[in-house]
Amino acid sequence: GLGLSSKKDENFGEWYSEVVVSGEMIEYYDISGCYILRPWAMSIWEILQAFFDAEIKKMKIKNSYFPLFVSPGVLQKEKDHIEGFAPEVAWVTKSGESDLEVPIAIRPTSETVMYPYFSKWIRGHRDLPLRLNQWCNVVRWEFSNPTPFIRSREFLWQEGHTAFATKEEADADVLEILELYRRIYEDFLAVPVSKGKKSELEKFAGGLYTTTVEAFIPNTGRGIQGATSHCLGQNFATMFEINFENEKGEKAMVWQNSWGFTTRTIGVMIMVHGDDKGLVLPPKVAATQVIVIPVLYKDANNQGIFDACAATVKNLNESGIRAEADYRDNYSPGWKYSHWEMKGVPLRIEIGPKDLANNQVRAVRRDNGAKTDITVANLVEQVNDVLASIQQNLFDVAKQKRDACVQVVKTWDEFAEAVSQKKLILAPWCDEEDVEKDVKARTKGEMGAAKTLCSPFDQPELPEGTLCFASGKPAKKWTYWGRSY
Ligand SMILES: O=C1CCCN[C@@H]1CCCn1cnc2cc(F)c(Cl)cc2c1=O
Ligand SMILES: [Mg+2]
């Protein structure tokens, strides 16, 4: 098909909506905020799922499946848990022609679904730790602008729910999972993220503290929450009476965590790496890492070229590289080049008469367009090297772009200037909630309210006497601020 009609740096929103469809990841659906995930997207989810599932199995976390439906009683168990969320709960009110006696909610998250049973299953300390995960969909009937992968009314995720005898175990579990989320973004999706803690205002209100991996979209100058790992403390244990008899025979409440990542990961990857020719997929998450294109000539040895293509695909697949050939005879090589560039396949291999004669193939990188001739004898080794180089290069370029957006500020004026320039702002803050609310209020306006994104675990040095950029009070920590999704 034809190329994209919008340019990423000129009209990002249009570019994104177009590239997810032209790259055959998304099909728009007739219900607003809902999208069809086509195989080209689903294959990425499956790769991330396989990695994460294997890792949590190493941690002895077990998969389970809880019902989609939530009875109103448990969902509304505790007001401040669902405070503010109520408008986005979807309800089933009918079956067939008849109204349900009592409307049933569709899970927006499963704490209230699971925890009555945690209470039933956890009796003594030998029942701990209890660590369950589920891979499922959730529904949140949000009204802010729906965006494929980034904000949809239904999305796929995993949600982990763990219970421990001590806070120390819960604290460790929170960070162990957060590290897996960092690996998903940095090692698989080649997207740099900042690990940190959410502020009291931005955290999950039902929990004790929230840790997060924060990404940043340079084109829009907006931060985005990549995944979250919450320590729930004993809040839900209190609500749902989840207690156990400890080793001293005393009744004690469990310490809990809940953590999740979603199909939003795919949207972040697209936004960070995509370009005006289409998607750019990091090899680690590409269902097809190498596409082999036969370049035929009217009077050439075309059978020889087809055989070379087949041998190349076979050779690569046998060494664990995901390779396909595009033999369609109703499309020209040029059309195929554009098509597979649009789909973001990391490496293209062209085989024409000259390549055949020289017993080599022509490799073309999707990330930087570099072309290299590879001798057939070194094919597997060199393709592996190029794929690794593409993976690393995508991360390095994304990190350099993200770091270029970071602006360290010390005063309100510097902060306001940085917000208007859509920067990722690192500022010393007194960590007071009223000040955070005040900053949000003062920055409301055409440039979009700035909020805290996270306080990075990796804190720069905070010299004695440094003052908060907003309140002038003694600063307690460096915090990332910015506009966000
Ligand atoms: O973020 C995660 C990771 C995976 C498990 N859950 C937690 C907390 C989810 C917060 N949250 C987020 N959104 C919600 C929307 C709702 F409609 C209701 Cl009723 C509740 C919530 C809500 O509790
Ligand atoms: Mg929400």
Rounded distance between C-alpha atoms, residue 476 and residue 457, angstroms: 13
Residue closest via CA to ligand 1's atom 16 equals: 85
Rounded distance between C-alpha atoms, residue 157 and residue 384, angstroms: 31
pLDDT of residue 447: 65
- How do the residues of the chain divide into helix, strand and coil, expressed in percent and rounded to 5? 35, 30, 35
Task: Using a pLDDT cut of 70, give the percent of the chain over it.
Answer: 99
Rounded distance between C-alpha atoms, residue 420 and residue 267, angstroms: 25
pLDDT of residue 227: 98
pTM score over 0.95: yes
SS3 labels along 40-82: HHHHHHHHHHHHHHHHHHHCCCEECCCCCEECHHHHCCCHHHH
- Mean local confidence (pLDDT), 355-360: 96
DSSP letter at 124? B
* Dist. CA 382 → ligand 2 center (Å): 45
Evaluate if residue 446 carries a pLDDT over 70: no
- CA geometry: angle 194, 195, 197, nearest 5 deg: 120
Which atom of ligand 1 is least distant from the CA of 105? 19
Evaluate if residue 336 carries a pLDDT over 70: yes
Which atom of ligand 1 is least distant from the CA of 229? 3
pLDDT of residue 183: 99
Tens of pLDDT, residues 236-247: 999 999 999 998
307 within 8 A of 292, measured Cβ to Cβ: no
Which one of the ligands is nearest to 141 CA? 1
User: How many residues comprise the chain?
Assistant: 485
pLDDT of residue 299: 79
Tens of pLDDT, residues 367-376: 999 999 999 9
Rounded distance between C-alpha atoms, residue 289 and residue 344, angstroms: 9
Rounded distance between C-alpha atoms, residue 344 and residue 283, angstroms: 10
Task: Using a pLDDT cut of 90, give the percent of the chain over it.
Answer: 94
* Dist. CA 98 → ligand 2 center (Å): 31
Which atom of ligand 1 is least distant from the CA of 159? 4
* Dist. CA 109 → ligand 1 center (Å): 5
* Dist. CA 140 → ligand 1 center (Å): 9
pLDDT of residue 80: 67
Question: How buried is residue 95: exposed, middle or buried, by Cβ count under 10 Å (0-12/13-18/19+)?
Answer: exposed
Tokens encoding 175 = 């960070």
- Mean local confidence (pLDDT), 218-231: 98
Rounded distance between C-alpha atoms, residue 119 and residue 130, angstroms: 11
pLDDT of residue 448: 73
Rounded distance between C-alpha atoms, residue 161 and residue 113, angstroms: 11
Q: Which protein residues are within 6 Å of ligand 1, measured from CB?
A: 75, 82, 85, 88-89, 108-109, 111, 140, 159, 204, 206, 228, 230, 258-260
Which atom of ligand 1 is least distant from the CA of 81? 23
Query: Listing from the earlier edge strand, what are the strands of the sheet with 98-106?
Result: 69-70, 98-106, 91-95
Helix (H) or strand (E) holding 418: helix 412-420
Minimal CA–CA distance to 352: which of 292, 307, 305?
A: 305
pLDDT of residue 252: 98
- CA geometry: angle 102, 103, 108, nearest 5 deg: 140
Q: Which amino acid makes up residue 265?
A: T
Evaluate if residue 178 carries a pLDDT over 60: yes
| Best mutation site among 75, 85, 156 for ligand 1 pocket (most ligand atoms within 8 Å of CB) | 85
Mean pLDDT estimate for the chain: 97
Residue closest via CA to ligand 1's atom 22 equals: 109
SS3 state at 17 = helix
Q: What are the strands, taking DSSP E only, across 46-175?
A: 62-63, 69-70, 91-95, 98-106, 130-139, 154-164
| Best mutation site among 109, 138, 203, 261 for ligand 1 pocket (most ligand atoms within 8 Å of CB) | 109
Rounded distance between C-alpha atoms, residue 262 and residue 266, angstroms: 9
Rounded to 5 degrees, φ, ψ at 339 are -60, -50
Evaluate if residue 172 carries a pLDDT over 70: yes
pLDDT of residue 1: 54
| Best mutation site among 204, 229, 265 for ligand 1 pocket (most ligand atoms within 8 Å of CB) | 204
Tens of pLDDT, residues 76-91: 887 766 778 999 999 9
Helix (H) or strand (E) holding 268: helix 264-273
Which one of the ligands is nearest to 152 CA? 2
Rounded distance between C-alpha atoms, residue 90 and residue 104, angstroms: 9
**Cα 187 to Cα 57, 142, 191, 390, 394, distances in angstroms:** 19, 31, 8, 12, 11
Tokens encoding 16 = 């994104």
**Cα 298 to Cα 246, 301, 335, 336, distances in angstroms:** 81, 9, 18, 18
* Dist. CA 200 → ligand 2 center (Å): 16
Tokens encoding 117 = 């049973």
Tens of pLDDT, residues 94-116: 999 999 999 999 999 999 999 99
